[in-house]
């Protein structure tokens, strides 16, 4: 936003209409000498035309524009930027997302379970303010994709890069939780949360989900577990990581709701079952309302003075007008 800190100087701009009227419209401008043209035997009087006429008009335009900019400079133009600053500390959140092949189940039409989860996670991330959010994904093994960060664009880009079967064909829920707990344990925020999204049962890895949940509980980390998908047979669509070939078929998954409820209860969190896109949205709306903190926000005002730029531009234009009139038109001695 552009503002003026001394707008009173703008009253000088009212001089311009007066100058225009006095110089071009007022019939009494200048002196008048009565002269009998009948006795004149010299060359005819002609108006300035051609290139010199153009220079005369152009120099007037330069002078008016330059003086206008100098008046604006006197009014003290400045650029003002207001930036909200969050004073209170946010929540540290790590999303633990199942990347196993079964997440390709297409019972969230028109998308797969995995793509639906990613879309709603994007909305969840964009709706947070001041919270550090990280991302862990798991298949046969677990990988930290992003440490907790407030750079939500970077985090969303990492989420967009994911593809099913990158981490194998098994479901290491316990390993995913353990990686999330490890990275949250290194942070100092007063509240830490894990969001677990999976459609299957833990069948891989060296760490059981209950063991990882026990570690989380000891560190004061809450786990919100979300079971995705239906238990019926559904179509599935997968891409071969090596060849890019699309494989289609049918799959029936067995969601271990008992374990998901237990690990949530052990840490003071909650469990939800999401059978479709709308129910998954409702789950994240509920989490949004549960995991919110009162924030103290102030507004930081940055001011950048611009008058030097206007003085420089205006001075150059006025100087050019003077040069044209003195050296090209010869009007100034």
Query: Cis (ω within 30 of 0) for the bond into 110?
Result: yes
- Asked whether residue 191 carries a pLDDT value surpassing 70, the answer given is yes
- Asked whether residue 208 carries a pLDDT value surpassing 90, the answer given is yes
Question: For 126-150, what is the mean pLDDT?
Answer: 92
CATH number at residue 175: 3.40.50.410
Question: For 275-295, what is the mean pLDDT?
Answer: 78
Q: Which helix (H) or strand (E) holds 246?
A: strand 246-251
Question: For 300-320, what is the mean pLDDT?
Answer: 89
- Asked whether residue 116 carries a pLDDT value surpassing 90, the answer given is yes
pLDDT in tens, 236-259: 988 876 777 888 888 888 888 999
306 and 331 together in one domain: yes
- Give whole-number Cα distances, 264 to 199, 208, 211, in Å: 16, 14, 12
- Higher pLDDT, residue 290 or 310: 310
Residue for token digits 């967009």? 160
Question: For 79-108, what is the mean pLDDT?
Answer: 83
- Higher pLDDT, residue 198 or 330: 198
198 and 279 together in one domain: yes
103 and 63 together in one domain: no
Contact at 8 Å (CB) between 105 and 247?
Answer: no
How many CB atoms sit inside 10 A of residue 54's CB? Answer: 11
Nearest to 103 by CA among 264, 280, 266, 287: 280
Question: For 19-33, what is the mean pLDDT?
Answer: 62
pLDDT score, position 210: 95
pLDDT score, position 25: 64
- Asked whether residue 37 carries a pLDDT value surpassing 70, the answer given is no
DSSP string, 136-159: EEESSSEEEEEEEES-HHHHHHHH
Q: Provide the mean pLDDT of the chain.
A: 85
User: pLDDT > 90: what percent of the chain?
Assistant: 43
User: Residue 36: helix, strand or coil by DSSP?
Assistant: coil
pLDDT in tens, 158-189: 999 999 988 988 999 999 999 999 999 988 88
156 and 100 together in one domain: yes
Banded model confidence at residue 63, pLDDT cuts 50, 70, 90: confident
Contact at 8 Å (CB) between 52 and 329?
Answer: yes
209 and 286 together in one domain: yes
Sheet-wide strand order for 2-4: 2-4, 77-86, 297-305
Question: For the chain, where are the alpha helices, taking DSSP H only?
Answer: 15-20, 50-74, 113-126, 152-160, 173-184, 209-218, 257-266, 277-290, 307-323
Domain contains 22: no
How many angstroms from the chain centroid is the CA of residue 80?
Answer: 19
User: pLDDT > 70: what percent of the chain?
Assistant: 86
Rounded distance between C-alpha atoms, residue 160 and residue 57, angstroms: 60
Q: How does strand 92-98 pair with strand 192-198?
A: parallel
129 and 234 together in one domain: yes
Pick the range with the lowest mean pLDDT from 49-53, 264-268, 295-299, 301-305: 295-299
DSSP, res 12: G
Q: Which residues contact 282 (CB under 8 A, 6 or more apart)?
A: 274
pLDDT score, position 333: 62
237 and 176 together in one domain: yes
151 and 281 together in one domain: yes
Rounded distance between C-alpha atoms, residue 310 and residue 67, angstroms: 10
* Domain of 325, in residue numbers: 1-6+50-84+298-333
253 and 174 together in one domain: yes
Q: Structurally, how many domains does the chain consist of?
A: 2
Length of the chain: 333
Single pTM value for the model:
0.65
């Amino acid at each position: 936003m552009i503002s003026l800190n001394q707008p009173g100087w703008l009253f000088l701009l009212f001089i311009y209409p007066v100058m225009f009227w006095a110089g071009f419209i007022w019939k009494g401008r200048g002196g008048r000498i009565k002269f009998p043209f009948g006795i004149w035997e010299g060359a005819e009087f002609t108006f300035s035309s051609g290139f010199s006429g153009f220079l005369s008009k152009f120099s007037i335009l330069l002078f008016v524009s330059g003086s206008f900019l100098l008046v604006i400079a006197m009014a003290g133009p400045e650029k003002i930027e207001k930036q909200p600053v969050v004073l209170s500390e946010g929540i540290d959140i790590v999303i633990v997302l199942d990347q196993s092949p079964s997440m390709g189940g297409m019972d969230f039409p028109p998308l797969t379970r995995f793509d639906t989860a990613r879309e709603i996670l994007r909305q969840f991330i964009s709706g947070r303010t001041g919270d550090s959010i990280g991302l862990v994904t798991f298949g046969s093994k677990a990988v930290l994709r992003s440490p907790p960060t407030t750079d939500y664009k970077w985090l969303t880009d990492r989420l967009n890069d994911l593809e099913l079967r990158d981490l194998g064909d098994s479901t290491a829920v316990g390993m995913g939780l353990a990686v999330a707990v490890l990275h949250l344990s290194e942070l100092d925020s007063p509240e830490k949360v894990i969001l677990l999204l999976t459609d299957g049962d833990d069948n891989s890895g060296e760490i059981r989900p209950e063991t990882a949940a026990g570690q989380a509980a000891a560190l004061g980390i809450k786990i919100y577990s979300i079971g995705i998908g239906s238990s019926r047979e559904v179509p599935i669509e997968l891409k071969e990581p090596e060849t890019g070939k699309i494989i289609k078929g049918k799959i029936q998954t067995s969601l271990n709701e008992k374990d998901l409820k237990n690990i949530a209860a052990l840490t003071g969190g909650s469990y939800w079952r999401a059978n479709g896109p709308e129910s998954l949205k409702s789950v994240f709306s509920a989490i949004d309302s549960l995991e919110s903190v009162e924030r103290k926000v102030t507004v930081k005002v940055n001011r950048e003075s611009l008058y030097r730029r206007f003085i420089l531009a205006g001075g150059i234009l006025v100087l050019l007008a003077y040069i044209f009139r003195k050296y090209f038109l010869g009007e100034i001695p």
